Every structure is written in structure tokens, then in C-alpha cells.
Structure 1
Amino acid sequence: MTSNPLFLAWLTLMSLGIAAVLVTAGGAEFFSPVLFGGLLLLLAWAKARIILSRYLGLWQAPGWLSGFSWVIGLFCVLLLCLYAVAGLSR
């Protein structure tokens, strides 16, 4: 097995992609709509963090990685709040 960081990042992205497909394929019956949306946004946030860290090289600049992670995380929370409010208004 190799310990190449890009290969490991690629494997992680593939596994998160498979998890997202499994959540969307069968998750709507098992989870509430808000939890369903939260799971998808959490997976998207994790994938974005891996891309920023490994592919864009921000692991060498932890301050920038932390800043981008916070901004993307807050954006995901905003999207989740909008999704929840839209679901409550139905």
C-alpha cells in the first residue's frame, strides 16, 4: 500500500462520495429531512476541506486552511438553516 498523501486524499474523496450516494439513495426514509440535509452538507464540507488541504496545498498554511474551513462551515450552516425554514413552511 502506498502512503502518497494525494492518493489517500483521493481514496477519502471516493469514500465520501460513496457515502453521499448511499445517504441520498436510502436516507430519506430513515432520517428526518433536516438531518438528511445536515448529513449531505457535512459530507460536502468534509470533501471541500480535503480538496483545500491536499489538492490546493493549504496543509502547509494551517491558518488559511482554518479560515477557509470556518467560512465553508458557516455557509453550510446557513444553507441548513434555510433548508430547515423552507421545510417548516410547507
Structure 2
Amino acid sequence: MRAFLCDPLSRAWLALLGLSLAGALLTLAPVPQALIGSGVLILALIKARLILSRYLELGQSPAWMRGIGTVLTGFVLLLLALSLL
């Protein structure tokens, strides 16, 4: 078990599992739909950045990670703005 938790990919997998669970629980919360949608989009952005940095190893290339992260963040902000209209 210790070797499993020391492996960065395993920790990333556990983090993705936790973020997915948080997204599922967020949909059950008694809050306005706009807030739920915003939360799900933000969780998706965090998950995408985690996948890019750990599984695709873009964390080893800061310039690529920053560029793709900027594009992803812009896309999520656009989706957030459209969802709140």
C-alpha cells in the first residue's frame, strides 16, 4: 500500500477519483443550478490540469503546461459566462 501511495500516478488517480466524487456530490446539493454548473466546470478544469500534468507529463515542460492551461482556463471562463447568461 505504501508503494501505491508513493507513486505519483496513483496519487493522481486518487485525486481524480476524489474530484469525481466531489462533482457527483455537488449535484445533490440544494443550491441554485448556476452554482452547481459553475462548480462542475471548475472541478473539470482541475481534473484536466491534473491529467495533463501527471498522465501526459506536461508538468515537466512548464511552457507547454502554462500555454495549455491558459487555453483551458479561457475556455472554462467562456463556458461559465455562457452558462450564467
Report the TM-score, using the length of structure 1 for normalisation: 0.85
1:2-42 CA distance string (max 9 Å, x none): 31100000000000000011011x12x2x233222111111
1:9 to 9, 12, 24: 12
1:44-68 CA distance string (max 9 Å, x none): 0000001000000101101111111
- Runs of 4+ that moved beyond 3 A: none
Residues 1-80 of structure 1: matches in 2 within 5 Å?
A: 1=2, 2-24=5-27, 26-27=28-29, 29=30, 31-80=31-80
Unaligned runs of 5+ in 1: 86-90
Alignment partner, residue 82 of structure 2:
82
Amino acid at match of 1:81: A
Find the aligned partners of 2:74 and 2:34 in 1 and give their Cα distance.
Answer: 16
Amino acid at match of 2:21: I
Amino acid at match of 1:3: C
Unaligned runs of 5+ in 2: none
- What root-mean-square deviation, in Å, do the aligned CA atoms of Structure 1 and Structure 2 show? 1.0
Higher normalized contact order (CA 8 Å, seq sep 6+, divided by chain length): 1
Q: Percent identity?
A: 43
Report the TM-score, using the length of structure 2 for normalisation: 0.89
Q: Give 1:80 deviation, angstroms.
A: 0.8
